[in-house]
């Protein structure tokens, strides 16, 4: 194993069972080529060949040297995580005659990769040929080309572009599923259950200019004009590119409600325009400032300004800032991105996809890698995932927040452990204790608080993760630890793993029961555009339709290429309380049932929606107009309670 491993532990767990534990060095564990002794050292070459048998081969390298080597072929980037297990399996078989059937792996089991991959038949039906071998490279390359085009377009636009910022999990290598490029020629014949084409957000900022109006509604109209110019520019300079202006439904005229969707090189992007003047004008409305000039346009009402400001800050300030903070972790810790993808898949598989933002999940995993306590930094994705599950199982979120020094990675710490700034930690803890005394009991607040250097309240991304959701996560995490057989010896930092007998056990970690929900809504799988991402997807649903591509029509979605179409996800979000969130772009901004109902849904191909009545809302409340939900009279004449049976 050479430098692939930092620690090796062998113990006998039964008369005929030997357990081998490896602590990987993440920088070397997934190396594809092992270089052996140079050809002139005959004795060393002979020993190398005896060790590796037929696997050893003599190769000439780029520097002209000739050495013995071992090459581990992989078909996709994710397969590199299997190399340590392949080495162990090969050597045990070669020297001890251990068959594949006699070996069981935990972290190197291929089933871990399967839960964050779509089946090959689904990929072949709609994605480009060989896309599985490229990982995130196609969308990163498409973004780079688009970035260069936009940055060099000053002569073709009325205003110069100052910045182009990515703000998407797909562009920081942490999306649960790799966004393989779409083949537009295959798209029309694909069934509806495969027609999800994800898009990555990009934020543009143009230069300040008197051409920008001092009116919120006028700013949105200028954005539309700029989008038109951008669309013509992109289509004319990138072969095969498509660009359309999209208007969000249900937004007011002062909301940032339009974006440019671009499809190029098989990848999709949503371009938004950031204008810092919007925030100033919205804050003036909320502060109650009067108009300076009598000819000024009337100010929008407060009820429109408040959500518009929240949307603006979340999309244009917090989103890009979070992306800039998280992106370096993919390069600093080789297994971070894969571990994050597993954690996202696990949470969504347990129908928490709508309730826990992706930004929170990424920060939890950052905490795992930065604060490994007395353990070594996770050397594999599965190790990172398991430690995150352990954190969620034992985190006493009622008593303490999660403090993550996410911005300190770029600081010069001399190789020492990255710590949260002391003064900011004190201020954050003081604020946490003060807020804890004021938390309401409606089950919406009072849950997770994830504090970072620029969010000392810890509520930026967790404002909707209340006690019910936090408690559900803790319960699921504890059950998951039991399934994988992790035992914690009191007062001793020793972790023991039970060997898993089959891939079915790993898949069971991502299978959730539905018996605890008050209402279960079953959706038609054929219309779930992300169905191929489901944990237990039935491949027959699309394979049968793909046998005769010219029969059966274009389905509900038609032949035209569409971006971000998630019919069932949009339906689930319409039930949930909608917030100004980029992840809820297609959701109705009005609340159907308020916080009386919690909606549980697997955003990655789920075909079941679970509804849970908020237990904190069962008490009668005063009768008033526009409650927003069905109610029935309570015992007193002036109070009503939520009518569960009248939900539909």
> Which ranges of 550-611 would DSSP assign to H, the alpha helix?
567-575
Boundary residue ending a domain (86, 109, 132): 109
282 and 137 part of one domain: yes
pLDDT given for residue 291 in this prediction = 61
82 and 198 part of one domain: no
pLDDT given for residue 596 in this prediction = 73
218 and 318 part of one domain: yes
Considering the domain boundaries, does residue 345 fall inside one? yes
Boundary residue ending a domain (280, 308, 326): 326
Q: Residue 533: pLDDT above 60?
A: yes
Q: What percentage of the chain exceeds 70 in pLDDT?
A: 87
Considering the domain boundaries, does residue 537 fall inside one? no
Considering the domain boundaries, does residue 270 fall inside one? yes
Mean pLDDT of 255-265: 95
Q: Which domain holds residue 169?
A: 120-326
Mean pLDDT of 44-66: 92
Name which of 269-283, 517-531, 581-595 the model is least confident about.
581-595
pLDDT given for residue 486 in this prediction = 45
Mean pLDDT of 71-83: 86
- What is the tens place of the pLDDT at every residue in 315-367? 999 999 999 999 999 999 989 999 999 999 999 999 999 999 999 999 999 99
Residue 578's nearest CA partner among 217, 251, 196 is 251
Contact residues for 150 (Cβ-Cβ < 8 A; gap 6+):
161, 164, 204, 230
pLDDT given for residue 488 in this prediction = 34
90 and 135 part of one domain: no
Residue 473's domain is classified under what CATH number? 1.10.1410
Question: Rounded CA gap, 352 and 636, in Å?
Answer: 37
281 and 402 part of one domain: no
Task: For 243-266, give one letter per residue: b (16+ CB within 10 A) or e.
Answer: beebeeeebbebbbbbbbbbbbbb
317 and 417 part of one domain: no
- What is the tens place of the pLDDT at every residue in 540-598? 999 888 776 665 556 788 888 889 999 888 888 877 644 334 333 333 323 456 667 88
Strands 33-38 and 66-71: antiparallel
pLDDT given for residue 171 in this prediction = 97
127 and 167 part of one domain: yes
pLDDT given for residue 591 in this prediction = 47
587 and 459 part of one domain: no
Higher pLDDT, 363 or 628: 363
Q: Take residue 230 and report the two structure tokens written for it.
A: 């951008």
Boundary residue ending a domain (65, 90, 109): 109
95 and 127 part of one domain: no
Residue 230's SS3 state is helix
Query: Tell me, what DSSP letter sits at residue 549?
Result: T
169 and 317 part of one domain: yes
Question: Rounded CA gap, 242 and 259, in Å?
Answer: 14
Considering the domain boundaries, does residue 153 fall inside one? yes
pLDDT given for residue 77 in this prediction = 82
- What is the tens place of the pLDDT at every residue in 99-112? 877 888 888 888 88
CB 29 within 8 A of CB 23: no
Considering the domain boundaries, does residue 383 fall inside one? yes
Per the prediction, the chain carries an average pLDDT of 85
Q: Residue 154: pLDDT above 50?
A: yes
Mean pLDDT of 495-515: 66
Mean pLDDT of 387-394: 95
Q: Take residue 628 and report the two structure tokens written for it.
A: 């927003």
Number of domains in the chain: 4
pLDDT given for residue 648 in this prediction = 52
Considering the domain boundaries, does residue 303 fall inside one? yes
Considering the domain boundaries, does residue 114 fall inside one? no
pLDDT given for residue 297 in this prediction = 64
Considering the domain boundaries, does residue 513 fall inside one? no
Q: Residue 55: pLDDT above 60?
A: yes
94 and 124 part of one domain: no
- What is the tens place of the pLDDT at every residue in 177-211? 999 999 999 998 899 999 999 999 999 999 998 88
359 and 489 part of one domain: yes
Higher pLDDT, 426 or 640: 426
CA distances from 328 to 407, 409, 563 (A): 10, 8, 28
pLDDT given for residue 311 in this prediction = 93
CA distances from 617 to 474, 475, 626, 642, 644 (A): 22, 22, 17, 8, 11
């Amino acid at each position: 194993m050479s430098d692939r491993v930092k620690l090796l532990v062998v113990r006998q767990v039964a008369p005929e069972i030997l357990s081998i534990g490896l602590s990987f060095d993440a920088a070397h564990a997934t190396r594809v080529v092992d270089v052996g002794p140079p050809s002139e050292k005959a004795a060393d070459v002979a020993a190398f060949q005896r060790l590796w048998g037929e696997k050893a081969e003599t190769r000439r390298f780029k520097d002209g040297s000739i050495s013995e080597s071992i090459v581990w072929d992989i078909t996709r980037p994710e397969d590199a995580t299997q190399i340590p297990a392949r080495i162990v399996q090969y050597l045990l078989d070669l020297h001890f005659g251990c068959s594949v059937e006699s070996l069981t792996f935990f972290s190197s089991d291929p089933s871990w990769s399967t839960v964050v991959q779509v089946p090959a038949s689904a990929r072949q039906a709609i994605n480009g040929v060989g896309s599985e071998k490229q990982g995130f490279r196609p969308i990163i390359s498409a973004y780079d080309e688009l970035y260069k085009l936009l940055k060099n377009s000053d002569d073709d636009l009325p205003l110069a572009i100052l910045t182009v910022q990515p703000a998407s999990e797909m562009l920081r290598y942490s999306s649960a599923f790799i966004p393989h490029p779409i083949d537009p020629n295959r798209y029309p014949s694909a069934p509806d259950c495969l027609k999800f084409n994800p898009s990555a957000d990009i934020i543009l900022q143009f230069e300040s200019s008197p051409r920008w109006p001092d009116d919120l509604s006028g700013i949105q109209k200028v954005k539309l004009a700029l989008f038109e110019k951008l669309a013509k520019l992109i289509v004319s300079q990138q072969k095969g590119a498509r660009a359309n202006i999209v208007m969000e439904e249900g937004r007011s005229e002062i909301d940032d409600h339009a974006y440019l969707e671009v499809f190029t090189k098989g990848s999709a992007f949503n371009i938004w325009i950031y204008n810092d003047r919007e925030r100033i004008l919205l804050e003036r409305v909320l502060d109650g400032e009067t108009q300076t000039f009598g000819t000024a346009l009337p100010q929008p009402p407060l009820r429109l300004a408040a959500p518009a400001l929240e949307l603006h800050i979340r999309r244009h300030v917090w989103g890009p800032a979070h992306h800039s903070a998280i992106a370096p972790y993919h390069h600093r810790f080789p297994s971070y991105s894969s571990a994050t993808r597993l954690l996202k898949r696990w949470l969504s598989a347990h129908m928490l996809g709508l309730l826990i933002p992706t930004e929170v999940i990424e920060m939890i995993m950052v905490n795992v890698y930065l604060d490994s306590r007395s353990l070594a930094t996770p050397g594999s994705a599965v190790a990172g995932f398991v430690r995150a599950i352990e954190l969620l199982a034992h985190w006493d979120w009622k008593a303490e927040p999660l403090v993550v020094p996410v911005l300190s990675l770029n600081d010069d710490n001399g190789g020492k452990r990255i710590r949260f700034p002391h003064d900011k930690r004190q201020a954050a803890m003081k604020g946490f204790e003060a807020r804890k005394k004021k938390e309401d009991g409606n089950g919406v607040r009072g849950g997770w608080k994830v504090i970072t250097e620029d969010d000392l309240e810890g509520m930026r991304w967790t404002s909707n993760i209340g006690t019910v959701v936090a408690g559900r996560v803790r319960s699921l995490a504890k059950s998951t630890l039991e399934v994988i057989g992790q035992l914690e010896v009191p007062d001793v930092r020793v972790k023991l793993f039970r060997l898993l007998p089959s891939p079915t056990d790993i898949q069971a970690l991502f299978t959730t029961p539905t018996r605890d929900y008050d209402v279960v809504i079953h959706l038609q799988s054929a219309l779930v555009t992300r169905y191929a991402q489901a944990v237990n997807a039935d491949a027959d649903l699309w394979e049968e339709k793909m046998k005769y591509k010219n029969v059966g029509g274009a389905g509900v979605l038609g032949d035209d290429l569409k971006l971000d179409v998630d019919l069932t996800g949009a339906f689930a979000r319409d039930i949930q309380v909608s917030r100004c969130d980029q992840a809820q772009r297609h959701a109705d901004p009005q609340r159907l049932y308020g916080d009386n109902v919690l909606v549980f849904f697997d955003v990655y191909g789920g075909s079941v929606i679970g509804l849970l009545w908020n237990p904190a809302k069962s008490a009668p409340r005063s009768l008033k107009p526009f409650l927003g939900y069905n109610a029935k009279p309570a015992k007193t004449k002036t109070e009503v309670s939520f009518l569960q049976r009248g939900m539909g």
